[in-house]
Structures are given as C-alpha cells and as structure tokens.
Chain A
C-alpha cells in the first residue's frame, strides 16, 4: 500500500462522514484563522505605533516632568516634582549645546466655538517650531508666527476636521473662534495628518504657548521637545539637559526620553501583546486538536470491525496505523489550509475597514499556525490510531 493509496483510502473514509469531517475541519480552521487574524492585528498595531514614532525623526528628545524612579523622600514632603516651565524651555534653548530647537508643549481640552457650533478638542500650546518638529504642513493660511515665548498673539491654527466642523461652508481663515472665553483669530488650517503621539492632529487647535498657559491658567508645560543637530550627540545632550534642569530646580526631577527608548519600550509592549494574542489563539488550536482526537476516536470505535477486517485480509499493524494517522493528518491539513485562507481574507477585510492599521500576519505566525494544526492533528490522531492498530482481529470482527 503506497502513501497515495493509503491517503485515498483515508480520504474515502473522511468523505463517508461528511458532516463529522466538516465540523472538525471547522474547529481546526477557526483555530488557524484566529491565529492569523489576531497576530495580524497585533503586528498591525505594532507597525502603526512604530510608524507614528518613526515619523517624528530619530533626533528627538522629550523632556517630561517627574522622574520614573523611586526617591527616598516621604510622599507629599518634597517629593512633588517641580513644574516644567516656559523659563526652563528658554534656558534649555539658551544653554544646551548641539540642539536645533526646543519646543515647549502645553496641552488641555477645551471647547472651541464659532457661533452656535461648538466642539471639544485638544488645545495645544506651542511655538512656530512645532511645525518642523512634528513634520506638520499647513493647508491654508499660515502657522503660528514667531514670537517671544512669554508673549503670544491671540491666534489659532485649526486641525483639518475641526475646521470643516466649525466652518462647514465658509473659509475659516480670518474668522474668530471662542476658546474658554478668549476670542482667537484663525490664521491657518493644517493639512490632514491623522493621529500622532496619541493626539489626533486633525482635531486639534494650536495656539501660542503663552496663550495656552493663560487659557488653562497653568504654569506647567506638558513636555518640551528638543531636536538635536546630530544623532550621535543625543547622549551628551541628554546629560546636559538633566544638568541644566537640576541646577534650576535644585534636584533631578525630570525624565529625558529619547525617541529610541520610547520606541524600544513600545516595541516590547506590543511584541508581548502580539505574543499574548497568539497564545490565546494557540489555545483554540489545541482545542481543535482535541476535537480531531474525538472524531478519530469515534471513527475508530465505529470502524472496529473494519479494522479487524483489514487485519484479517492481510493488513499489517503499521498499515492500519498509517491509514488512521493519514486520516487525522488530512483532516488537520485541510483545516489548516481552510483556516489560512479564511484568516487571510479576514486580514484583507481588516485592511479594507481600517486602512490606517497595516495589519499583516507575520510569516512565523502563519507557519506556526499551519504547522501546529498539522502536528496537533497528527499527535492527537496517534492515540486513536494506535488503539485501532492494536485491536485483536477476532474481537474486532465479532462486532457487526
């Protein structure tokens, strides 16, 4: 009995029980499809976030208030970090060697209104240098004008969708909007940009940082972005920044992140996410394997007399073993391939629905899913197949 002949025999056995075969096929394909789709999602989320950060350029340093390490002080007594102020930003620009620019950012949520139309959005206070640092572009009008940090004209630049929401019919440039009791003149509209660093840049109102601080009635900045002249100097700049601010605040109470560090930690988190999601899907594969074992056990006990017959007709134990293993293997292979197809179609559908998320199942996940399906199917097929091959022909034939 050659392998193709045995496979044909096994196939006929599967085809004879169409419903049962289809059901266990379904289990296996759901498992494989789940692995493909879920890892594709995880991978897509990872690429999406990484892409967002990468678009900022790798020469970026981010200064945030507070320090992410435990200090010895008693909570509430001197442990509170100093605010990050506009003066700090000015000092950094002045004193740190090797930086192109220091961009302060203040952020808050406010209602922006024009006549009866009102919309709650993120209001971002910054300077004209936000434009190059965030790689933004202006579609209409102009961006914030250059000015002293402590002063700012009452002007605003609107994100794309915010502009169309507030001014559905007219040109927003030159009009006035109200923000927290202030009247600000719209001087420009951003080109569409999408979500960047967690802020939807299409739904944002950008004002001079001094205006933002007064709007929010706050003296603390959200963060300061620094752009280094050269990538190699990042470490030196980081040290300088910490030194300058330590001198100003009297203690080391800020955290300086490089874009790479942020990227690395995001990458770790997202890789763990993909893995966790993959593991959940793998459980469904294992369950599908048990399903196949079930089918094979039923198949064996249902075909006890057939096993006895095969032995009486001169079938060797390993031939019987082979036929039943091939049956399990065919079942899981078919399930794996169907699952792969369904999974890839699912990924295509995801891409269609959420074009921003570059969902794509990583090759290792696809190989692992189909491979696991096959291994699980055959592994769980071994027990029933061995049982079949060990049946005594007499006992097997005695049943009708």
Chain B
C-alpha cells in the first residue's frame, strides 16, 4: 500500500467506513470484456462527502454499485464498516443494504402506485417493523424533507424535486451509515437540483457519509473530495474546490448514466 498524500482534513483519519483494496470488476458484453473497474484502492471514512466524476463508461456507476453492495467485485477486497462483503451470501448482502446503505437514483425509482408515504414506508415494510413505529418514522422522514403535506400524493402528482426528496426520505429512513446518490440532480432543473443537493449536504452535516456520482461540476465541486475515474481507474483525486467550472478535466455533457 503506497502512502498517499493526505487528502483527509485530519492528520489522524478515522477508520474507513468504505474500503476498497485492489478492486476490479469485469463484464462480458457480447464477445468483448469490459473492464469497468481496474485495481481500485480507496478509503472513505465515516462522515465523508465524496463526488465521483468521469466520462460515460468510466466505471462510475459500477463503483457505486460495488460500494452499495448491489454488485460484487471480481477481484480485490471490499470492506463495509470493517466487514468483507464479497464472500457474503445474497441474503447477507441484502441485510447490509437494508441497514447500512441508502440509495438515491437519477430516475427516482418511486413505485408509481404507492403514495409518497407508501414509498417512504417500503424499507420499513421490508424490514418487518411494526405498523405504529413505521407510521411515526414515515411522518418524521417526510417532515424532514418538507413534504408532510404531500404524504398522500402519488409520484405522478409531485414535481421532480419533490419526487427526489421523497426518494431521499426513503433512502434515509433506515438510518443508514452511507447515502449513495447516482446523478441525483440529473433529471431536475437547476433550482430543484440545488434544493436536493442542499438536503443531501444537510444530512451529511448530521453525520451520514455521502457519495455522489455526478458529471455536473457544479455538483461535484461542493464535495469535500472528488474522484475522477477514467477507464475504470481512479485517474485523479482532487479537493472539491479544485474543480473549476468551465475549465474541466474533461468536457462532456451526458444525459444518462
């Protein structure tokens, strides 16, 4: 392990919450092997705020999926809160996701037939919590994202920003250690996007570890640290303020992950 020039704000970094050691992930697409991640080493301590940037196909989403225990690395070690993940059975991975990780997606992924409250309730329902406690926590979570008055609206009756806030309430209702957001502003207008990012940052200030994948430099530069992926490798590690809007390490505007 080569010691890296410290990007951590403290000289005595806390033990990493997410730790990747030599992680690789390869896909077979047709007769072609796609090296989505190549030998990635990265530690993300608890409470960190990290943005992942990179061109389309650079492995951003794969990295996020590995971090979120949705996908397993082919090689290397991934530890979540000190626990090696790649050897776990599906049901154990599900447990890790259930209690440790919240997801926010570009396309919100709200269940269209359920109300806002119903969507926020889903993780609690799957975890088998008693009804009364679920109702209380759902109400709290909706209040935290400022949507108490929209609790009984279906997603189609909500604006994009409101939908993403419902999704954030859902992602945080199990009080996970880490929140993984894949292009959370990708489908929003600027004003709603800023609202959503500010909500995520507020959660980060309260202690949740935040990892955001975004191609938008306006979003990425707000993070404490920025990882720039190129061809499945971490090409650069920057501080957020080093990202300059307009003078980008790459010039690309993609519309979907």
Contacts and interface: CB of A to CB of B under 8 A. Distances in A.
Interface stretch (B78-86, B94-102, B142-150, B210-218): B94-102
Interface string B102-114: 0101010101111
A5 B70 contact: no
B126 interface: yes
A149 interface: no
What class of interface size applies to chain B in its complex with A?
20 to 34
Contacts of A310: 122, 126
A312 B70 contact: yes
Contacts of B99: 314
A313 interface: yes
Instruction: Summarize A's interface: helix, strand, loop or mixed.
Output: helix
What class of interface size applies to chain A in its complex with B?
20 to 34
B71 interface: yes
A315 B94 contact: yes
Contacts of A314: 94-95, 97-99, 123, 126-127, 174
Contacts, number: 62
Interface in A343-369: none
Contact of B70 (A12, A13, A394, A400): A394
Contacts of B59: none
A233 B109 CA distance: 84
B41 to A, nearest CB: 22
Interface string A294-306: 0000000000011
Given A394-B70, A397-B109, A316 B125 contact: no
Nearest to A2: B128
Given A305-B109, A393-B70, A315 B126 contact: yes
B221 interface: no
B71 A394 contact: yes
B202 to A, nearest CB: 22
Contact of B111 (A15, A309, A311, A316): A309
Contacts of B126: 1, 310, 313-316, 319
B125 A5 contact: yes
A393 B122 CA distance: 16
Contacts of A15: 113
A62 B107 CA distance: 84
Interface string A315-338: 111010000000000000000000
B164 to A, nearest CB: 14
Interface in B109-143: 109, 111-114, 122-123, 125-128
A111 interface: no
Contact of A312 (B103, B113, B114): B103
B70 A309 contact: no
Contacts of B95: 314
B240 interface: no
A6 to B, nearest CB: 9
A240 to B, nearest CB: 81
A2 B134 CA distance: 14
A16 B125 CA distance: 19
A12 B112 CA distance: 11
Interface of B: 65, 68, 70-71, 90-91, 94-95, 97-99, 103, 105, 107, 109, 111-114, 122-123, 125-128, 170, 174
25 contacts: A1-B126, A12-B114, A13-B113, A15-B113, A306-B109, A306-B111, A310-B122, A311-B70, A311-B97, A312-B70, A312-B103, A313-B97, A313-B122, A313-B123, A313-B170, A314-B94, A314-B95, A314-B99, A314-B126, A315-B94, A316-B91, A317-B90, A317-B94, A392-B71, A394-B70
Given A16-B113, A313-B123, A400-B107, 8 more contacts: A12-B114, A13-B113, A15-B113, A16-B112, A309-B111, A310-B126, A314-B98, A319-B126
